[in-house]
Amino acid sequence: MSFSSEALPINSVSGSQNRGGLAAFTRKNKKPVIVFLSVLVLLAAVISVATIVTRKSRDQHENVAKIEASHGLIRSSCSATLFPELCFSTIGSTPSLAASLTTQKDVIEASINITILAVEGTYFKVLKLIAQRKLTSREKTALHDCLENVDETLDELRETYEDLKVYPAKKSITEQADDLKILLSAAMTNQETCLDGFSHNDADKKVRKVLEKGFKHVHHMCSNALAMICNMTNTDIANEKNSVTQERRLEEEEMGEGGFPSWLSAGDRKLLQSSSVTPDVTVAADGSGNFRTVSAAVAAAPEKSTKRYVIRIKAGVYRENVEIPKKKTNLMFVGDDRKTTIITGSRNVVDGSTTFNSATVAVVGTNFLARDITFQNTAGPSKHQAVALRVGSDHSAFYRCDMLAYQDTLYVHSLRQFFRSCFIAGTVDFIFGNAAVVFQDCDIHARRPNSGQSNMVTAQGRDDPNENTGIVIQNCRIGATSDLLPVSTSVKTFLGRPWKQYSRTVVMRTDISNVVRPEGWSPWTGNFALDTLYYAEYQNTGAGAGTSGRVKWKGFKVITSATEANQFTAGNFITGSSWLTSTGFPFSLTL
């Protein structure tokens, strides 16, 4: 069949007429399509924006909820502290930090990190003072004391942080909690030590005023972290103690002959008791050893040693000031005999030193031991503070040593310490500081002071109720030296006085001679600390041990319970079961 062109329909796909029709249709409908597509794009954009806004709103709501929850956690954690508003404001003021905290331990870790930053700030402030001010000799010394104490604080805070991260898996909860508490107690003590260096005259006090705000702030921050740690660990400790059987406790505490654990073999006990310790080096003033001075031997000792490094000090008088810095760990001084091996100096406050810097021997490196040595400061009673031995070494111990001076003889500065069969003599505050320290089988004798002075055996420096520090005198003898005896009735001698607000001293099962006044204890000034101190006596003997005439302060008590007294034994107070055996010295963990 065939058709002519005229017969083709108008909507045919062929021919110019039909092409013109399609174009007309496209032009006619293009605008509505564009509009439609634009509407779709706009609608998609609106939906997308709405989704983003909704997600953002939800995220913001979730973040707000997180921050509110973390703020609640922070407030709850900070409620146990002495400075709760400071605690909350420093931790909760950064939203991103606050939102990341989910547990009480998180809050404590954040608190410690913020405290570290604050300590670094005080360090640079001290450096600036040293560079810019015209200073007296003692002010320069005091500022360098501050730098040393700040440096120690940074190490202690960093160690606290690392220990806290693995809590409670590092060791027993009791031991780990004790570690955390003693480190923060030491950090707090360092702040006070710095400021105490500027207390001797008006010029000193002007420098103190410049530093006081920053160091007090750090002290309060450390206090807050300590309070939160106590709050967190106390329940855990109680649970742990309940899980340990009575048989296990008795096994841990039972001691054999010579103060060594009963499980220690006779051979090992004999080895530890042996007076012959093989030295790594020998100090001899006459040149017959490796070194002529103790300081030279210390300087040559290995740093951060994990093995015991023994320095034998031959008989002789060594006139020098010796420092065992923190990088010198596990050192041991062994003298020939404490009557003939003497390290002596005469630095003192009257002649321009600080109390901290006056020490003839200053020990900071951990695990320090000394045996059969005399530490002496010969400045005399008129020179006021003049330290024979200062100890800020954790797990340090002294056996058959003498500490001889007048005011401030033995500075038990910080951390955990143990003294066995030592002789300590002095006048005013002659055992002082803020360590956790136990004295066993020691002779502690008051000397004749200057006219008008009284003797105080102790001046303990605990200034926070959560610090696990204090002085414990157990199975010792408190009496008088030969120069005091003829005038003992006219010179007042006391067991102690409160240097700081929460001063804590316990005297138990000790022979107290009648050199000690019937009232036993002396105030510092007025009513300061009389309600907040903890002074206690337990089963003491001797002419000066009667308690009927003792002070009536709220903070003083006569302990009648063995359970209460037991918390001040070496086993509990300085966790002695974990480290005293390694000293090789005799000891008792129990009453």
431 forms beta bridges with 410, 458
In degrees, rounded to 5, the angle at the alpha carbon of residue 365 between the alpha carbons of residues 364 and 370 is 90
Q: Is 408 a catalytic residue?
A: yes
| Contact between residue 152 and residue 119 where contact means Cβ atoms under 8 Å apart | no
Catalytic residue, chosen from 408, 441, 463, 464, is 408
At CB < 8 A and 24+ separation, what contacts does 546-553 make? Answer: 546/518, 547/520, 548/518, 549/518, 549/519, 549/520, 550/518, 550/519, 550/520, 550/521, 551/519, 551/520, 551/521, 553/521
Which of 418, 363, 420 has its CA nearest to residue 393? Answer: 363
Residue 417 to residue 367: CA distance in whole angstroms: 9
Distance CA 560, CA 474 (A): 15
β-partners of residue 440 are 420, 474
Q: Of the residues 429, 441, 463, 464, which is catalytic?
A: 429
Question: Which residues, at least 6 apart from 113, have a Cβ–Cβ distance to it below 8 Å?
Answer: 161
Residue for token pair 């002959």: 257
Residues across the chain: 591
- Going from the C-alpha of 45 to that of each of 32, 33, 50, 56, the distances in angstroms are 20, 18, 8, 16
- CB-CB neighbours of 121 under 10 Å: 14
Active site residue ranges = 408, 429
